[in-house]
Amino acid sequence: MTPDNFINTIERSTVLDRRVFYPGDRICRAGSDPDYVWILLNGHVELSGGALGTARFSKSPGSLYGDLEALLAIPYQGNLIAMGTEPSELARFPSSRIVDQVNEASPMVRALLKINATRVLKATRIIHMNELKSEVADALLDCLAHRS
């Protein structure tokens, strides 16, 4: 399914609230409740997270954010920030819509969705841990360089 088809499907099934964010605007904050699932319609946003907040993931139009958090009932795992030189347009819909739809699915479908959401979250946390290890190694090398 293409991003446009996905967005059209969502628009038919729920009310989308479209919002415009300017470069530097924070769309959602790590640790806050995932009240909404966000869809990037156009522009450029970046997801930052990790132990030091330096792991960065660029999002392109059609990208979702907040879906994993909604499925797993956990807070937002990163900060979503508008980037670039032009405004970014996003649509949002209540995360409860996903939760309600998942709860209506068969037990097998619910289990598969949650397993896949957990797998993606674990992969992201591995990236964050690698980022932390890299930062610590760089700091140790800097300390050693200054001692010489």
pLDDT digits (tens, 9 = 90+) for 12-59: 555 678 999 999 999 999 899 999 999 999 999 998 875 455 567 788
Q: What is the pTM of this model?
A: 0.69
In the structure encoding, which two tokens stand for residue 106, read together? 């068969």
Task: Tell me the per-residue pLDDT of 64-96, one tens digit each, with 9 for 90 and over.
Answer: 899 888 888 889 888 999 999 999 999 998 999
The least confident of 47-61, 91-105, 131-145 is 131-145
Kindly give the residue spans of alpha helices, DSSP state H, lying in 24-106: 67-72, 95-104
C-alpha–C-alpha distance, residues 118 and 66, integer Å = 13
